[in-house]
Chain A
Amino acid sequence: MSKRTVEFNVGRNPEMGVDGSVVDSPILPFDMPEPDLGTENMLINIGPQHPATHGVLRLVCELDGETVKRVIPHIGYLHSSFEKLGEYRTWNQIVTLTDRIDYLAPLIYNCAYVMAVEKLMEIEVTERCKVVRVICMEIDRIFSHLLWLGTTAIDVGAFTPFLYAFQERERIYKLHEAFTGARITTSATRVGGMMADLPEGWTDGLQDFIDTFLNTLDEIDRLLTRNQIHIGRSQGVGAISAEEAINSGFTGANLRACGVEYDVRKDQPYYDYETYDFEIPVGKHGDCYDRYLCRMEEMRQSVSLLRQALERLPGGPIDVEDPNISLPSKTDCMSDMESMIHHFKLITEGIPAPEGDCYMAIEGSKGELGMYIVAEEGGTKPVRWRIRPPSFVNLSVLPKLAEEHLVSDLIMINASLDIVLGEIDR
């Protein structure tokens, strides 16, 4: 496995004193005995409507002065029961639910869901479809990381990276729109293929994006990576050891920041990820700063993956040529009796599944995204559709991470976990 440790030439909390000696960062508290004020712990409620919680998350904190003693997260404000709704829908109808789960990376969720269904039905998609889906997933990884980058920076007081990041996101929105017709609710995949093939000239637009995107990323990098305030706010904050991180279910960049080389794309490869040349950034300290470095490097790797995918994008059909799975073309429906029957059967009944269950994990932008599907023999709807939500499990570690930190650190830790509430509440 190729791996690369993220190491920048940045000291841990470096600051030069007046006489040239290295002193601690000014953020560190004074070493002074605290007077006993004899106060009681305070209960403070953050959210659910608060910009720094990145969604409708409510944190009830017990504070001793400014130190967080305990955090009790309350979630469920966006609960829409997608899993229950899925039990009433046919396989292809569920696709529209999946992009509402994580609206920051809708294409990844579209792909993950149909991949699980295809795995259960043992459908092998075409080569072109595989590469198109890799493009979709990598572009949305950048899409999601950019939002995380902008909002996290704004949480610690840096406003400019937010504007830079959102300008780049706008370009991805335009690519989404050109491909799927929607900016957020893409619903681009279908069982056995895609909703449509890439429109003409779309790859040129993507090429244009990946050619210039790294310039913006470098600018943001210059603004944050060696920024004294950013370093002071994130280094040594919310650190967790590798062993503890695995045990508490961390996945994705959060886990890799602790030094664990676990990436589903490498460990359980799908869509020929093993043949692409890319590296997994791995951190050392497991704190907010290393999570930041890992995600920054991941975006660069995603650009490299996109470039390779564009190079190898083969021609040919995008849907599997099986009339029981893919819809026939509209022209065929109107002129050919058999196609019309297939069209009718597919629309009214759906695709029959074999009996069994299937768990398919992919590397989402937030961590390991799993789709678990249980089907009955010949069933055109799932008996159970379960999403293994990476943000949900990552957020469950927040109380442990925030303990004994300041309230302002709690905001930074929460931001660095990269959560999306639509997926936590489902």
Chain B
Amino acid sequence: MTLDETKAGLDAVEEGPHPSERSTGSSDGKIDDPDGHPSVVALLLRFGDSVSGHRVSAGTQHVVWIDSARNLEILHWLRDDQDHQYDMISDITAVDYGAGRPIDVVYQLFSTVHKRALRIRCELPLDGLEIDSIVELWSAANWLEREIYDLFGVTFRKHPDLRRILMPHDYEEGHPLRKDFPLRGRFSRAEQTRRALDQSVEHSYIAEEMDLGRDPQQAAPIIGTKDGDG
């Protein structure tokens, strides 16, 4: 392999993964046969106008696309209705297909009563990455939604504590799991090092904690400063 080829390979890494053009991945208004999953039948009956698609994926898994504006209402109903009782939220995540396509927020539900699983997806256009938080329904959603906010940049309305979770709270390079984010980050390695060395102790604390550590009698915070012992 010549030097040029090696460089070309590295450039590809800098560009980010290829957007998925072959995958439709969206609802397309298509409704697969909902028989065999009572919750899908019930969702189509009750919220028919908000269901934008239904697929059976990987043989047996039912996926329903719903209107993102009504996610809270529909999930609430799925959790509390006697015939469904999806009391467990297994997972919340997001999918970015790239190429300007909408980002999907994916809810994976499970009912410990009826032993049934259901996947709900909401499409969010790139210019309106906002959706209602479901922390009031499941407190498990707290960190899972923070992770999506951190890595995809989706804002969850009425989330009690929406800040970055895996990346530093003052991370400035964007949202790493988006397709347009290069694998090595936006800043050069030199810039990343410079910023890391430039940080004072206060950078490791969020504003709320800084308030806790501040002695009301003194002007300076007691947790130490850049010049202090930290």
Contacts and interface: CB of A to CB of B under 8 A. Distances in A.
Contacts of B212: 41, 43, 62
A393 B59 contact: no
A240 B11 CA distance: 51
Interface centre among A81, A247, A383 (most CB of B within 10 A): A383
Contacts of B144: 249, 393
Contact of A120 (B58, B91, B97, B165): B58
Interface in A330-384: 355-359, 361, 368, 370, 372, 374-379, 381, 383-384
B24 A426 contact: no
14 contacts: A43-B213, A247-B139, A248-B138, A248-B140, A268-B117, A357-B61, A361-B90, A368-B90, A370-B108, A374-B25, A379-B22, A379-B23, A392-B147, A395-B143
B96 interface: yes
A372 B93 contact: yes
B91 A372 contact: yes
A376 B20 contact: yes
A226 interface: no
A119 B59 CA distance: 8
B58 A377 contact: no
Nearest to B139: A248
A81 B16 CA distance: 13
Interface residues of B, number: 55
B139 A359 contact: no
Contact of A376 (B22, B96, B183, B215): B22
Interface of B: 13, 17, 20-25, 55, 57-59, 61, 63, 87-91, 93, 95-97, 106, 108, 110, 112, 115, 117, 119, 138-140, 142-144, 147, 165-168, 176-177, 181, 183, 204-206, 208-209, 212-213, 215-216, 223
A372 B106 contact: yes
B176 A384 contact: no
Contacts of A376: 20-23, 25
Contacts of B90: 359, 361, 368, 370, 388
Interface residues of A, number: 56
Contacts of B138: 247-249
Contacts of B87: 246-247
Interface stretch (A72-80, A91-99, A166-174): A72-80
B91 A60 contact: no
A395 B147 CA distance: 14
Given A43-B209, A43-B212, A76-B167, A388 B57 contact: no
B206 A72 contact: yes
A211 interface: no
A218 interface: no
Contact of B23 (A88, A375, A392): A375
B143 A355 contact: no
B70 to A, nearest CB: 22
A383 B139 contact: no
